[in-house]
């Protein structure tokens, strides 16, 4: 045993209070290390967002490869058709040219001269010369057309060969991209399963979502007012209370206000409502207004915020796709996007909020029955 360790051991044996202080110091050091590790941990929402963005990118790449494959397939079909048309025309031209060229070959240069010398008069000679020139011009034009058709067929054949080779590589790429997307989807599924299955992760994710709700409120409060001289927003939104169309067809599965998780008995406060809907369903504006945000927002996925005027905003979140841009004016029924599960901890659904001067209000009181 080293001398320093021996002295420490003797000191601890001699004084129990020193032993207690040493244990407390060790516990404090371990707690500090745990806090440091916790600070280095990546946010669950960030991890989920990264998984979703990677999945979206992989699916976009797969769609691109499949789209190029389909275009290449169409080009191949066209090249085949062009080659067949050129081949048929070339065969027809060959049938017309072969006997004429054979006859010219048999006649030879002297045959043409004998035909001219057999003229009965000067006028007959001129006439025969003009007819021979006309026949020669026709044959040359037909021969030139046949050569052009042959070149056209060769071009179509080269396009067909190139597209055939390209289709094989694109099919392999599309298959690879689809496999990547499936792997990304499995990563996201595993992450969501862990969040839903472990109480600690569930509570941590819920806390992060609550924090993002505060950031969303700050974001809405900081939205700039309409620019001077811009067209006024629709007024009279307050008069639409109880008359608004639903942003998407489907029942309200989670209402506004205090919500208790049945599995973990944790309490969260909903600032909007969850509407059950299938992925890909159309999400529409509930009233005229102007889009003031259309993009990713941590905890909400793809989020569209519409300024309805008079201090009111509506929000639709977790969209799969977005169909409007910031600054765009919309009317009631304008397509805002489609139902998805971006930023969602429970699968596809639509999250819908109404805020009055930044304060959330219960959307069910505003929607028509």
Q: What does the pLDDT look like over 274-322, one tens digit per residue?
A: 999 999 999 999 999 999 999 999 889 999 999 998 889 999 999 999 9
Confidence class of residue 25 from pLDDT cuts 50, 70 and 90?
A: low
> Rounded CA gap, 332 and 307, in Å?
13
Q: What does the pLDDT look like over 88-119, one tens digit per residue?
A: 888 887 888 788 777 777 776 666 677 767 77
Same domain? For 205 and 135 the reply is no
Residue 273 located in a structural domain: yes
Q: What does the pLDDT look like over 169-181, one tens digit per residue?
A: 877 887 887 777 7
Confidence class of residue 149 from pLDDT cuts 50, 70 and 90?
A: confident
Bridge-partner residues for 335, per DSSP? 284
pLDDT at residue 18 tops 50: yes
Same domain? For 85 and 140 the reply is yes
The pair phi, psi for residue 342, each rounded to 5°, is -65, 130
The CATH number of residue 186's host domain is 1.10.287.620
Q: If DSSP codes are grouped into helix, strand and coil, which group holds residue 226? A: coil
Residue 7 located in a structural domain: no
The pair phi, psi for residue 256, each rounded to 5°, is -80, 145
Residue 30 located in a structural domain: no
Residue 31 located in a structural domain: no
Same domain? For 183 and 203 the reply is no
Q: How many domains does one find in the chain?
A: 2
Residue 351 located in a structural domain: yes
pTM, entire model: 0.59
> Averaged over 350-355, what is the pLDDT?
96
Rounding to the nearest 10 degrees, give the CA dihedral for residues 207, 211, 217, 221.
170
Q: In which domain, by residue range, is 72 found?
A: 44-195
Residue 173 located in a structural domain: yes
> Rounded CA gap, 23 and 307, in Å?
59
Q: If DSSP codes are grouped into helix, strand and coil, which group holds residue 283? A: strand
- Residue pair 266/202 in contact by the 8 Å Cβ criterion: yes
Same domain? For 215 and 184 the reply is no
Same domain? For 181 and 255 the reply is no
Same domain? For 296 and 172 the reply is no
* Stronger pLDDT, 355 or 120, i.e. the higher one: 355
Same domain? For 214 and 316 the reply is yes
- Residue pair 237/310 in contact by the 8 Å Cβ criterion: yes
Same domain? For 132 and 172 the reply is yes
Same domain? For 53 and 190 the reply is yes
Please tell me what DSSP assigns to residue 235: P
Q: What does the pLDDT look like over 207-236, one tens digit per residue?
A: 777 788 888 888 888 887 766 655 556 678
Same domain? For 258 and 141 the reply is no
Same domain? For 63 and 115 the reply is yes
Residue 2 located in a structural domain: no
Q: What does the pLDDT look like over 48-90, one tens digit per residue?
A: 777 777 777 778 888 888 888 888 888 888 888 888 888 888 8
The CATH number of residue 247's host domain is 2.70.70.10
> Rounded CA gap, 118 and 130, in Å?
15
Same domain? For 257 and 123 the reply is no
Residue 161 located in a structural domain: yes
């Amino acid at each position: 045993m080293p001398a320093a360790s021996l002295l420490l051991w003797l000191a601890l044996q001699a004084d129990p209070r020193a032993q207690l202080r040493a244990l407390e110091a060790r516990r404090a050091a371990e707690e500090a290390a745990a806090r440091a590790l916790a600070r280095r941990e990546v946010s669950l929402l960030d991890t989920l967002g990264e998984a979703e963005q990677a999945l979206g990118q992989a699916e976009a790449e797969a769609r691109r490869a499949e789209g190029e494959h389909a275009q290449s397939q169409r080009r191949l079909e066209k090249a085949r058709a062009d080659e067949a048309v050129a081949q048929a025309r070339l065969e027809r031209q060959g049938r017309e040219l072969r006997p004429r060229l054979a006859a010219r070959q048999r006649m030879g240069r002297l045959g043409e001269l004998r035909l001219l010398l057999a003229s009965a008069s000067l006028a007959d000679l001129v006439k025969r010369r003009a007819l021979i020139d006309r026949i020669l011009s026709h044959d040359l034009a037909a021969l030139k057309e046949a050569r052009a058709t042959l070149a056209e067929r060769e071009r179509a054949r080269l396009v067909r060969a190139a597209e055939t080779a390209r289709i094989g590589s694109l099919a392999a790429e599309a298959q690879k991209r689809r496999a990547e997307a499936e792997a990304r989807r499995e990563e996201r599924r595993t992450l969501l399963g862990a969040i839903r299955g472990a109480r600690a992760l569930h509570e941590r994710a819920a806390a992060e979502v609550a924090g993002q709700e505060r950031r969303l409120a700050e974001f809405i409060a900081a939205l700039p007012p309409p620019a001077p001289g811009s067209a006024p927003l629709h007024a009279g939104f307050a008069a639409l209370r109880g008359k608004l169309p639903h942003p998407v067809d489907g029942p309200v599965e989670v209402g506004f206000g205090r919500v208790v998780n049945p599995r973990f008995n944790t309490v969260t406060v909903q600032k909007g409502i969850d509407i059950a809907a299938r992925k890909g369903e159309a999400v529409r504006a509930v009233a005229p207004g102007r889009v003031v945000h259309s993009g990713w927002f941590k905890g909400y996925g793809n989020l569209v915020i519409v300024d309805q005027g008079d201090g009111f905003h509506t929000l639709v979140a977790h969209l799969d796709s977005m169909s409007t841009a910031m600054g765009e004016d919309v009317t009631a029924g304008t397509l805002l996007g489609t139902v998805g599960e971006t930023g969602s901890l429970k699968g596809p659904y639509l999250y819908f909020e109404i805020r009055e001067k930044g304060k959330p209000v219960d959307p069910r009181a505003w929607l028509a029955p």
